Amino acid sequence: MAPLTDFYQLTMAYGHWRAGRHRLPAAAELFFRRGPFRGAFALAAGLAEGLRCLRAFRFSAADVAYLRSVLPSTTEDAFFDYLATLDASEVTVSAVPEGSVVFARVPFLQVKGPLLVVQLLETMLLCLVNYASLVATNASRFRLLAGPDMKLMEIGLRRAQGPDGALSASKYSYIGGFDCTSNVLAGKLYGIPVRGTIAHSFIMSFTSLEEVQPRELLPLAGGEPVDLPALAKSLLQRVCELLQTPPEKTNRGELAAFVSYAISFPHDFQGLLDTYCVRRSGLPNFCAVALALHQLGYRAVGVRLDSGDLAQQSKEIRRVFRACGAHFQVPWFETIPIAVSNDISEQSLEEFSREGSEIDMIGVGTNLVTCPLQPSLGCVYKLVEVNGSPRMKLTEDEEKMTIPGIKTIYRLYDAAGHPFMDLMALEEEPLPSAGQELAIRVLGRLGETSKVCEPLPSLPEVRSHAQVSLSLLSPAHRRLHEPQPYPVAVTERLHNLLTELRQATQ
């Protein structure tokens, strides 16, 4: 993974090596300057992947040969020999646990080691953390809007920025609170639950019940096989009478598709209702097949809508399910889960909540994996100390000014258990004690830290930690629109150092 870097990192590395500065002890910190999506928080993600790449940090013989071909011809041969021996064995990384809530301007990953290696790691770590944290944060916002009981499914594979982006989106949206993915490769690689049933193309491929093969299904309790198309057709007549829908208006190709799928997956039958007309065709056809399965001892697992007024249709569908359940004496029918998709956004979830709905599961694709409201988190990686001397970036843009020195981060909690401030102190400052008064300077509008160690937590453990971290936020900081700014402060000693360095360079 060492060549996963920007070219200027290598030219700077040569400059440090040529000047004999490459082994000076150095420290850098990774953070973001503004809360994403105009919110107050982000979820830290991509940290475990960063550690794995750190362990594999090497320049192979082929890498070195390539670098010889692109670096200036004046580059000394000894530098390439040095690169061939380089690794990250002298690097120490400290970070928040993956899935932690983090805030703007507060470092959530710190790297210490020889200057040349610390510099070379910048691009790789930013690449691995930026998008991971962004999509995990985006997913957490959908989870907060949906509430804890709604099932959320990531379906962005075909909309993502290539296969790497799609896999990252599946992995980190799971950390952010999604329950499952449509991405089979992500399920295989990461153990994320995978889900999916049928698309419109499957339904459109059928035209009549005569196309259904095989036609028979064994009852769950055993016995003689039953002709499912014939049973569903007879029940369709009764369902149409109940719903006061003309049977001739139902699409027989759709009915055939439902029957065929039910024979293949009698335990996992879900109907996609909107290929033709939900009310006149999709809904009665589904009910007929679900009732036929019920007579054989099976239970349909749900329906899906992919167009129209999803909230309103979900309420109409629930009324039909209740009517069918009562009429045919099938109590579970009224609780059949209703899933929706169709370019779902944060605004969609807000509308579902405002209008009320009977939706049980939501599939989110484009607006999750592409993060259209903010395409990048904007993490930065800045040197804060070299050879024991604090370093600080000064610029006319106040927001881009960095805070010098190796720091320890403290998260302060109120009596209700909500974090109310992050405090940065210089590493050498003594640990604050309970009840101690501290002189601090709040940075204005703009966490918990621990040494990263093995074994790394599993993906479900990271997901659980993320949900706990989110639950600890106060409502004022957790809300997604116009949240209360989260205070970040520095100790008096760190503030004095910042002021001193600022004045020294003016």
Contacts of 387 (CB under 8 A, 6+ apart): 24, 25, 26, 115
Alpha carbons 156 and 363: distance in angstroms, whole number: 9
pLDDT tier, 451 (very low <50, low <70, confident <90, very high otherwise): very low
| C-alpha triplet 156, 161, 164: angle, nearest 5° | 90
User: Which helix (DSSP H) or strand (DSSP E) does residue 51 occupy?
Assistant: helix 47-55
> What does the alpha-carbon distance between residue 452 and residue 117 come to, in Å, rounded to a whole number?
19
Q: Which residues contact 399 (CB under 8 A, 6 or more apart)?
A: 33, 34
Q: Which residue spans within 84-224 are E strands per DSSP? A: 92-95, 101-102, 109-114, 151-154, 180-181, 216-217
CB distance 247 to 274 below 8 Å: no
Phi-psi region of 329 (alpha: psi -120 to 50; beta: other; left: phi over 0): left
Q: Which of 166, 148, 185, 193 is nearest to 370 (CA)?
A: 166
**Percentage of residues in the chain with pLDDT exceeding 70?**
97
Confidence band for 209, pLDDT divided at 50, 70 and 90: very high
CB distance 463 to 174 below 8 Å: yes
**Residue-wise pLDDT tens digits, 9-59:** 999 999 999 999 999 999 999 999 999 999 999 999 999 999 999 999 999
Q: How confident is the model at residue 442 (pLDDT cuts 50, 70, 90)?
A: confident
Beta bridge partner(s), residue 451:
94
What are the backbone dihedrals phi and psi of residue 351, each rounded to the nearest 5 degrees, phi first? -70, -40
* 3-state secondary structure labels for all residues of 306-357: CCCCHHHHHHHHHHHHHHHHHHCCCHHHHHCCEEECCCCCHHHHHHHHHHCC
Write 213-217 long-range contacts (CB < 8 A, 24+): 213/260, 214/263, 215/263, 216/263, 217/262, 217/263, 217/266, 217/296
Per residue in 346-404, pLDDT (tens digit) is 999 999 999 999 999 999 999 999 999 999 999 999 999 999 999 998 877 777 889 99
Over residues 129-148, mean pLDDT: 97
Q: Determine the pLDDT at residue 414.
A: 87
Cα end-to-end distance, the chain, whole Å: 40
φ and ψ at residue 42, rounded to 5 degrees: -140, 165
Is 338 within 8 Å of 319 (Cβ atoms)? no
> Given a cut of 80, is residue 446 above it in pLDDT?
no
pLDDT at residue 455, rounded to an integer: 67
The two three-digit tokens of residue 208, written as one number: 């009549």
Least confident span in 124-138, 198-212, 459-473: 459-473
Between 4-13, 437-446, 473-482, the lowest mean confidence (pLDDT) is in: 437-446
pLDDT at 290: 98
Residue 506 pLDDT class (50, 70, 90 cuts): low
185: pLDDT strictly greater than 80: yes
User: pLDDT for 73-124, tens place per residue?
Assistant: 999 999 999 999 999 999 999 999 999 999 999 999 999 999 999 999 999 9
Amino acid in position 23: R
Cα atoms in the 13 Å half-sphere on the side-chain side of 234: 8
Of 307, 252, 326, 329, give the one whose Cα is nearest residue 284. 252
Judged against a pLDDT cut of 80, whether residue 448 lies above it is answered with no
Asked whether residue 478 carries a pLDDT value surpassing 80, the answer given is yes
Closest CA to 259 of 209, 221, 317, 219: 209
Average pLDDT over residues 309-321: 98
Question: Can you tell me the distance from the alpha carbon of 155 to that of 362, in angstroms, rounded to the nearest whole number?
Answer: 10
Closest by CA to 206, choosing from 166, 252, 238, is 252
Q: What is the mean pLDDT of residues 449-474?
A: 78
User: What pLDDT is stored for residue 454 in this prediction?
Assistant: 47
pLDDT higher for 503 or 224? 224
pLDDT value at residue 437? 80
Go through 107-146 and write b for each residue having 16 or more CB atoms within 10 A of its CB, e for each that does not. bbbbbbbbbbbbbbbbbbbbbbbbbbbbbbbbbbbbbbbb
For residue 337, cis peptide bond before it (omega within 30 degrees of 0) = no
Q: What band does 445 get if pLDDT is binned at 50, 70 and 90?
A: very low
- pLDDT score, position 238: 97
Evaluate if residue 294 carries a pLDDT over 50. Answer: yes
